[in-house]
């Protein structure tokens, strides 16, 4: 693939802009300036720098972010900054999309990709991809509440019964809230908050710690992102219902 095509595919602008970056000496490979936009290169495994910023080639973008509080999962946010503003311009130009959404006040694991087939696969209700939430509840979580969450509860304005795939009482948290680890395999609007309300509790803090086979790394700070190795990083596997009081 020609170098200019590689830059174009990675979101560094229109074709003429990419050619201009190369001709102007802003692109390096292995520490050496490459100023020929038509040089043929093997893209797989290629790492190049543009204006001193290192960039690995990815045929399809796949990354995760530790979403901070106060950001909307929308390209056109209404009341708060967009999570997309936390990504570098090339990824925004590539039009990566979040795989599902987190509410403005929810933090934690968020996956992005520009692969539409993967988004469909991971968000399809038929796949039952587990999502793990660390919930800070206003009131102590009781074994009876856990049993109800696992058996299924009725949500307001929703005739269907919704059940958690797994639920674990995690005790009092440093912030004084009462902890619950909840695993869901569907994605209804405000589902965690509505499920806790259905068992006479209230969500005061919500953090997603897991998605599919992927867990949020402890060293990924709020607002930071990193590349994922490939589609296998988020494997659609069904969760097994468990309870720990």
Catalytic residues: 103
Neighbours of 130 (CB within 10 A): 20
C-alpha distances in angstroms, 221 versus 13, 17, 66?
29, 33, 6
Helix (H) and strand (E) counts for the chain? 6, 16
Which secondary structure element, helix H or strand E, spans residue 149, and what is its range? helix 143-151
- 3-state DSSP helix/strand/coil % of the chain, to nearest 5: 25, 30, 45
Q: Is 195 helix (H, G, I), strand (E, B) or coil?
A: helix
Dihedrals phi, psi of 182, to nearest 5 degrees: -125, 130
Please identify which residue in the block is written with the tokens 């395999």.
185
Q: Is-contact 39 28, C-beta < 8 A?
A: no
CB of 160 closer than 8 Å to CB of 198: no
Instruction: Give me the DSSP letters along 47-101.
Output: EEEETTEEEE--SS-EEEEEEPTT-BSSSS-SSS-BGGGGS-HHHHHTT-EESS-
Containing 15, the helix (H) or strand (E) segment is: helix 15-23
The residue with tokens 């936390």 is: 86
């Amino acid at each position: 693939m020609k170098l200019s095509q590689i830059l174009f595919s990675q979101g560094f602008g229109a074709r003429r802009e990419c050619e201009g970056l190369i001709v102007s000496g802003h692109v390096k490979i292995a520490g050496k300036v490459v100023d020929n936009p038509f040089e043929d290169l093997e893209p797989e495994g290629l790492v190049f720098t543009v204006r001193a910023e290192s960039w690995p080639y990815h045929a399809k973008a796949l990354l995760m972010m530790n979403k901070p509080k106060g950001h909307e999962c929308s390209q056109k946010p209404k009341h708060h900054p967009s999570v997309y503003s936390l990504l570098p311009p090339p990824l925004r130009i590539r039009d990566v999309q979040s795989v599902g959404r987190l509410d403005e006040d929810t933090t934690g694991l968020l996956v992005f990709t520009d692969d539409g087939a993967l988004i469909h696969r991971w968000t399809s209700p038929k796949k039952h991809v587990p999502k793990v939430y660390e919930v800070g509840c206003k009131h102590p979580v009781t074994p009876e509440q856990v049993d109800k969450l696992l058996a299924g509860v009725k949500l307001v304005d929703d005739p269907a019964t919704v059940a958690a795939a797994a639920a674990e009482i995690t005790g009092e948290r440093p912030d004084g809230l009462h902890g619950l680890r909840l695993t869901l395999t569907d994605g209804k609007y405000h589902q965690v908050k509505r499920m806790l309300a259905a068992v006479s509790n209230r969500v005061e803090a919500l953090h997603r710690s897991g998605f599919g086979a992927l867990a949020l790394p402890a060293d990924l700070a709020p607002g930071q992102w990193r590349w994922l190795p490939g589609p296998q990083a988020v494997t659609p596997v069904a969760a097994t219902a468990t309870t720990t009081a």
